[in-house]
């Protein structure tokens, strides 16, 4: 069977497979029609520190670490990795499973070596088909969400992860990634984004409180921001309507700190509203500086708050990092603050990492600084790499 034949057969099989059976169908087609010896989907866990083989009981015993493994290298680099030399009878190929930059996991394919297996290009196409089908199947079944968790999520964490748009996103103009910790028990912190033909909207929100009340507060604010955004409101009006929604429910007894960014994809102009404690840092030409924004009231802190947007402009090659107060404001038992100096140093040191990994690196640096000190609040880190719109795309939309 030619590559075109089995890829067509795979497409048809995946399209008609029950949602919970998509990964099994891919393995069956590859093993039956393409002489693949084995095919395993490895799903990224919530902390993005391990890849869990789908179909096995999730747990640290069966998980494949992201750090120091071929599978992890394929996941981080988003490039195929082949293990086994040209003269080996068998080779293992690890392929990223991603949808529009949202990294779901890795496909592990064991096949004949010595050139007797499928090409990496054909296997990459199969992995891309799988990613799209997983994305479509996810709302209809719990099996892939269950397969990602190495331990039980708290109820608040379940609510928070359900709110998120994904963990990463990519378009020609930008690459974007974000991360939350503690991943399995996060409470009130949140990130959100949405992109259309003209604009990328990004927010980082830090909700007060603990447990389910904090998650419920964040759900209210994020829902209000999305409702305002989808009605066509600009970034300032989004903040005002969300603040009103939170005030109506809590009359000032609960509120959320938030940073809202609205980025023009054609120009790189950013309209920003700083409604609280998350901070924005900019890496440009090797130097890290804080983007100075007017500190305005947190969402829901006061009735009928009006917000004023501020503007700054991104240049191709810029990296924007947004972190919550529990990151930049964390203090050790000795009273030393993590602060902007260590943040800036880490951002410079990790400048070659892709955006999703750079966001995780901020929280890894924080964990190293904390040592054995418990993180008593949620921590969120978001990283945006700005490429700018290619000339031909700018011309086409002019």
Domain span including residue 304: 154-397
- pLDDT tens digit at each of 398 positions of the chain: 677 777 888 888 899 999 999 999 999 988 887 778 999 999 999 999 999 999 988 888 899 999 999 999 999 999 999 997 656 788 999 999 999 999 999 999 999 887 778 889 999 999 999 999 999 998 899 999 999 999 999 999 999 999 999 999 999 999 999 999 999 998 888 999 999 999 999 999 988 888 899 999 999 999 999 999 999 999 999 999 999 999 999 999 999 999 999 999 999 999 999 998 789 999 999 999 999 999 999 999 999 999 999 999 999 999 999 998 888 878 777 777 888 888 999 999 999 999 999 999 999 999 888 876 666 678 999 999 999 988 744 444 44
CATH number of the domain at 15, please.
Answer: 3.30.450.40
The domain total for the chain is 2
CA distances from 144 to 21, 71, 117, 169, 348 (A): 10, 18, 28, 19, 35
Residues 6+ apart with CB under 8 A from 284: 315, 317, 318, 319
pLDDT of res. 397 = 45
187 and 140 within one domain: no
228 and 337 within one domain: yes
pLDDT of res. 398 = 41
- In angstroms, rounded to a whole number, what is the distance separating the alpha carbons of residues 339 and 325? 9
pLDDT of res. 326 = 82
CB 207 within 8 A of CB 256: yes
Question: Which of 147, 182, 209 represents a domain boundary (last residue)?
Answer: 147
Q: Which residues pair with 90 in a beta bridge?
A: 112
pLDDT of res. 178 = 97
141 and 68 within one domain: yes
382 and 261 within one domain: yes
- In angstroms, rounded to a whole number, what is the distance separating the alpha carbons of residues 129 and 384? 27
pLDDT of res. 1 = 60
Dig out the tokens for 269 from the structure.
């102009």
365 and 220 within one domain: yes
The number of beta carbons lying within 10 Å of the beta carbon of residue 199 is 15
pLDDT of res. 210 = 85
Question: Which of 122, 147, 172 represents a domain boundary (last residue)?
Answer: 147
Q: Which residues pair with 106 in a beta bridge?
A: 42, 96
pLDDT of res. 85 = 63
pLDDT of res. 34 = 74
SS3 content of the chain, % helix, strand, coil (to 5): 35, 30, 35
- DSSP character string of 52-105: EETTSPPSTTTPEESTTSHHHHHHHHTS-EEES-TT-SEEEEEEEEEETTEEEE
142 and 158 within one domain: no
pLDDT of res. 328 = 82
138 and 25 within one domain: yes
Q: Which long-range contacts (CB under 8 A, 24 or more apart) does 109-114 make?
A: 109/30, 109/36, 109/38, 109/39, 110/36, 110/37, 110/38, 110/39, 111/34, 111/35, 111/36, 111/37, 112/35, 112/37, 113/84, 113/85, 113/86, 113/87, 113/88, 113/89, 114/86, 114/87, 114/88, 114/89
- In angstroms, rounded to a whole number, what is the distance separating the alpha carbons of residues 357 and 350? 9
pLDDT of res. 375 = 66
This prediction has a pTM of 0.91
238 and 381 within one domain: yes
């Amino acid at each position: 069977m030619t590559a075109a034949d089995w890829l067509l057969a795979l497409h048809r099989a995946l399209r008609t497979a029950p949602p919970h059976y998509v990964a099994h169908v891919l393995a069956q087609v590859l093993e039956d029609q393409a002489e693949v010896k084995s095919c395993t989907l490895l799903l990224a866990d919530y902390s993005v520190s391990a890849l869990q083989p789908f179909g096995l009981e999730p747990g640290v015993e069966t998980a494949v670490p992201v750090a120091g493994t071929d599978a992890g290298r394929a996941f981080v680099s988003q490039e195929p990795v082949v293990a086994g030399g040209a003269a080996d009878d068998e080779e293992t190929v690890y392929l990223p499973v991603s949808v529009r930059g949202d990294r779901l996991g890795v496909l592990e394919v064991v096949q004949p070596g010595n050139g007797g297996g499928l090409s990496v290009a054909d296997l990459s196409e199969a992995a891309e088909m799988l990613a799209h089908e997983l994305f479509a199947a996810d709302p209809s079944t719990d099996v892939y969400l269950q397969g990602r968790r190495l331990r039980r999520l708290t109820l608040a964490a379940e609510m928070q992860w359900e709110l998120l748009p994904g963990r990463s996103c990519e378009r020609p103009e930008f690459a974007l990634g974000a991360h939350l910790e503690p991943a399995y028990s996060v409470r009130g912190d949140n990130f959100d984004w949405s992109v259309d033909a003209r604009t990328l909207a990004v927010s980082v929100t830090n909700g007060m409180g603990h447990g389910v009340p904090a998650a419920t507060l964040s759900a209210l604010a994020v829902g209000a921001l999305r409702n305002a955004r989808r009605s066509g409101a600009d970034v300032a009006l989004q903040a005002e309507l969300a603040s009103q929604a939170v005030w109506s429910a809590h009359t000032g007894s609960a509120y959320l700190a938030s940073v809202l960014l609205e980025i023009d994809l054609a120009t790189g102009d950013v309209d920003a509203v700083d409604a609280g404690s998350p901070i924005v840092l900019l890496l440009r030409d090797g130097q890290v500086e804080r983007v100075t924004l007017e500190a305005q009231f947190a969402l829901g802190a006061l009735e009928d708050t009006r917000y004023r947007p501020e503007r700054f402009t991104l240049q191709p090659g810029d990296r924007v990092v947004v972190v919550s107060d529990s990151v930049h404001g964390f203090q050790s038992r000795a009273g030393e603050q993590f602060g902007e100096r260590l943040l800036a140093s880490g951002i410079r040191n990790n400048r070659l990492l892709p955006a999703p990994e750079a966001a995780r690196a901020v929280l890894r640096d924080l964990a190293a600084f904390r040592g054995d000190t418990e993180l008593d609040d949620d921590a969120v880190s978001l990283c945006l790499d700005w490429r700018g719109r290619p000339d031909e795309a700018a011309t086409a939309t002019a």
